[in-house]
């Protein structure tokens, strides 16, 4: 199944609320459960910059105004899905030429039963990827040559089909989550399995590893913590469960002794890393929704901790900058996305589901510029009716060598000027892609839907 088909299933999400189980590998995965009402942040404290029924526009006060971005800096490793435990990376010195250096296949691509969903990571000169059939492989970061490959799918016939998960690196070990209801530790040098721990439900998001613990969220909206040394479960936190969610799944953000996780309910929750005790809960979900699709509240992109704020965006038309200490949103915007925001310098970038890229002031929530990645409908030939363009989906952005880079479900990488939004370069990848690229070691790496690892120099 392609990225386009997977996201097309969103339209029937509400109808699937009571349907089949995760093992069927549906793109929208229903599950059951309940919990008392969330202790959400008070709506009165939320500063809405734009009313929910208004179009987002560039702020008059910011038109033509400059803002600060840090200069490009070399980055040697990208060991976690978002680069760091905070899921925050700024401007990386990488891929100045913006040309393809090499490409390699790394296993099973996406199909009706399998989906490539894991972001690549890079550590100790190796890029680690996970294919659509739970095959994890290590590749030389300079050449793409495969160093080792291990399939972490269990032998049990009970879990014959599954998808999702991801990889993370810490202290010479890889930590792998999967839709096969397991978290597995591998030796990063050899691929040998150290320990494997069973979970009660599938895990579709990649792990976050910090300070001796591995954190994952399963499809029952339960945050799970495991000790890196033994795989023993440390604590759990149950979020509000939802009847439908998006195929993409989130990874927690960690700073010091605070973990911030997101759930399919639209909850953004801060927990103590030591014991899972709740510090605050905020809701990124509109109170008034007018269509079935907006009933999907999932925060599928990673929450990002940056300069004492948490940046996150839900599928239910809420993007928020939330105070890390109190859980009170400083501002919100009516943006619907399944991507991860990119706060850097004075601004935060986000890619909306429609293909619009927003450059937003971190301080005020006002908009500097908007760029439409998806062009207008193509006109029909010889006076025929205009033909509607095929919908294209775009990944989370990365800032590399002063270029804002995203990849798409039509197999293209695009670079925008981060100050103006003007397109600078475009590159044909030759394979559909929606997993956000990473920028590290002078390169940009992309994992595609066809299980190709592409390096851009």
Q: Are 203 and 181 in contact (CB under 8 A)?
A: yes
Banded model confidence at residue 431, pLDDT cuts 50, 70, 90: very high
Among 189-203, 237-251, 329-343, 358-372, where is mean pLDDT lowest?
Answer: 237-251
- Cα separation, 181 vs 153, whole angstroms: 10
Per-residue pLDDT averaged across 27-38, rounded? 34
Among 161-165, 167-171, 242-246, 260-264, where is mean pLDDT lowest?
Answer: 242-246
Judged against a pLDDT cut of 90, whether residue 375 lies above it is answered with no
Q: Are 184 and 199 in contact (CB under 8 A)?
A: no
- Cα separation, 319 vs 325, whole angstroms: 18
Per-residue pLDDT averaged across 229-234, rounded? 98
By percentage, how much of the chain surpasses pLDDT 90? Answer: 76
pLDDT at 42: 42
- Cα separation, 421 vs 436, whole angstroms: 18
Judged against a pLDDT cut of 50, whether residue 35 lies above it is answered with no
DSSP for 279-290, written as a single string: EEEEE-S-S---
Helices vs. strands in the chain: H and E counts, helices first: 1, 33
Given the structure tokens 């991507």, which residue do they identify?
339
What is the model's pTM? 0.88
Residue 76: closest CA among 127, 119, 118 = 127
Q: Are 411 and 420 in contact (CB under 8 A)?
A: no
Instruction: Please give the mean pLDDT across all residues of the chain.
Output: 87
> For residue 371, what are the β-bridge partners?
357
Banded model confidence at residue 34, pLDDT cuts 50, 70, 90: very low
Per-residue pLDDT averaged across 78-103, rounded? 98
Residue 404: closest CA among 418, 393, 394 = 418
Per-residue pLDDT averaged across 184-205, rounded? 97
Element containing residue 150 per DSSP (H, E): strand 146-151
Per-residue pLDDT averaged across 218-239, rounded? 97
Among 56-60, 139-143, 157-161, 367-371, where is mean pLDDT lowest?
Answer: 157-161
pLDDT at 40: 41
pLDDT at 113: 84
Among 35-49, 88-102, 415-429, 442-456, where is mean pLDDT lowest?
Answer: 35-49
Domains delineated in the chain: 3-456 (2.130.10.10)
Give backbone dihedrals phi and psi of 283, rounded to 5 degrees, phi first: -110, 120
pLDDT at 253: 98
Judged against a pLDDT cut of 70, whether residue 228 lies above it is answered with yes
Edge-to-edge strand list for the sheet holding 182-187: 165-170, 173-178, 182-187, 193-198
Banded model confidence at residue 389, pLDDT cuts 50, 70, 90: low
Cα torsion angle, 431, 434, 438, 444, sign = positive
Element containing residue 185 per DSSP (H, E): strand 182-187
Banded model confidence at residue 296, pLDDT cuts 50, 70, 90: confident
Among 112-116, 262-266, 292-296, where is mean pLDDT lowest?
Answer: 292-296
């Amino acid at each position: 199944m392609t990225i386009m088909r997977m996201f097309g299933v969103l339209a029937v999400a509400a109808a699937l609320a009571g349907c089949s189980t995760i093992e069927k590998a549906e793109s929208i995965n229903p599950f059951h459960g309940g919990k008392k009402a969330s202790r959400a942040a008070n709506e009165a404290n939320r500063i809405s910059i734009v009313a929910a029924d208004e179009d987002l526009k560039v702020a008059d006060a910011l038109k033509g105004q400059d803002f600060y971005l840090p200069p490009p800096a070399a980055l040697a490793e990208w060991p976690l899905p978002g680069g760091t435990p905070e899921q925050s990376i700024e401007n990386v010195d990488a891929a100045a030429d913006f040309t393809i250096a090499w490409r390699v296949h790394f296993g099973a691509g996406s199909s009706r039963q399998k989906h490539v969903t894991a972001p690549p990571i890079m550590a100790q000169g190796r890029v680690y990827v996970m294919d659509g059939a739970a095959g994890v492989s290590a590749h030389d970061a300079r050449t793409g040559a495969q160093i080792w490959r291990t399939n972490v799918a269990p032998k049990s016939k009970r879990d014959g089909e599954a998808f999702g998960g991801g990889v993370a690196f810490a202290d010479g070990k890889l930590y792998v989550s999967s839709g096969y209801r397991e978290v597995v530790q591998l030796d990063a040098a050899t691929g040998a399995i150290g320990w494997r721990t069973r979970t009660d439900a599938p895990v579709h998001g990649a792990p976050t590893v910090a300070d001796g613990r591995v954190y994952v969220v399963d499809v029952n909206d339960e945050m799970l913590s495991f000790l890196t040394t033994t795989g023993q479960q440390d604590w759990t936190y149950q979020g509000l469960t939802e009847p439908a969610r998006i195929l993409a799944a989130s990874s927690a953000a960690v700073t010091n002794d605070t973990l911030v996780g997101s759930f399919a309910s639209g909850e953004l929750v801060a927990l103590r890393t030591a014991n899972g005790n709740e510090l605050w809960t905020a809701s990124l979900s509109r109170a008034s929704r007018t269509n079935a699709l907006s009933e999907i509240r999932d925060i599928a992109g990673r929450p990002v901790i940056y300069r004492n704020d948490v940046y996150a965006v839900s599928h239910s038309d809420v993007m928020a900058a939330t105070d890390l200490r109190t859980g009170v949103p400083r501002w919100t915007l009516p943006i619907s996305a399944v991507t991860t925001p990119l706060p850097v310098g004075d601004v935060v970038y986000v890619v909306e589901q429609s293909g619009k890229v927003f450059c937003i002031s971190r301080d005020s929530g006002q908009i500097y510029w908007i760029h439409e990645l998806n062009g207008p409908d193509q006109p029909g030939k010889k006076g025929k009716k205009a033909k509607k363009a095929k919908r294209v989906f775009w990944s989370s952005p990365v800032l590399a060598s002063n270029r804002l880079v995203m990849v798409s479900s039509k197999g293209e990488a695009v670079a925008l000027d981060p100050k103006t939004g003007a397109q600078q370069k475009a590159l044909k990848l030759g394979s559909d892609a929606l997993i956000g690229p990473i920028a590290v070691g002078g390169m940009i790496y992309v994992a595609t839907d066809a299980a190709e690892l592409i390096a851009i120099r």
